[in-house]
Amino acid sequence: MAERFLEPDSPELRARWGGFAFTSDWDAKAKAAIARYPEGRQRSAVMALLDYAQRQVGEETTTQGWLPIPVIEYVAKYLGMPIVRVLEVATFYMMYNLAPVGRFHVQVCGTTPCMLRGSDDIMATCEKRGMHKGHVSDDGLWTLTEVECMGNCSSAPMVQINDDNYEDLTPERLDVILDALARGETPKTGTQEPGRHTVEPVGALSNLTAMVGENHDYRAEW
Q: Which residues bind ligand FES (CB under 6 A)?
A: 109, 111, 113-114, 149-153, 156, 158
According to DSSP, residue 81 is labeled -
Asked if 219 and 194 touch (Cβ cutoff 8 Å), the reply is no
Phi-psi region of 195 (alpha: psi -120 to 50; beta: other; left: phi over 0): left
> Is the CB of 141 or the CB of 144 nearer to ligand FES?
144
Minimum distance from residue 129 beta carbon to ligand FES (Å): 21
Minimum distance from residue 148 beta carbon to ligand FES (Å): 8
Minimum distance from residue 152 beta carbon to ligand FES (Å): 4
> Is the CB of 66 or the CB of 166 nearer to ligand FES?
166
Minimum distance from residue 109 beta carbon to ligand FES (Å): 3
> Is the CB of 50 or the CB of 159 nearer to ligand FES?
159
Minimum distance from residue 157 beta carbon to ligand FES (Å): 7
Asked if 162 and 51 touch (Cβ cutoff 8 Å), the reply is no
Three-state secondary structure of 165-218: EEECCCHHHHHHHHHHHHCCCCCCCEECCCCCCCCCCCCCCCCCHHHCCCCCCC
**Strand bridging mode 190-191 / 164-167:** parallel
Neighbours of 26 (CB within 10 A): 16
> Is the CB of 29 or the CB of 167 nearer to ligand FES?
167
> Is the CB of 51 or the CB of 146 nearer to ligand FES?
146
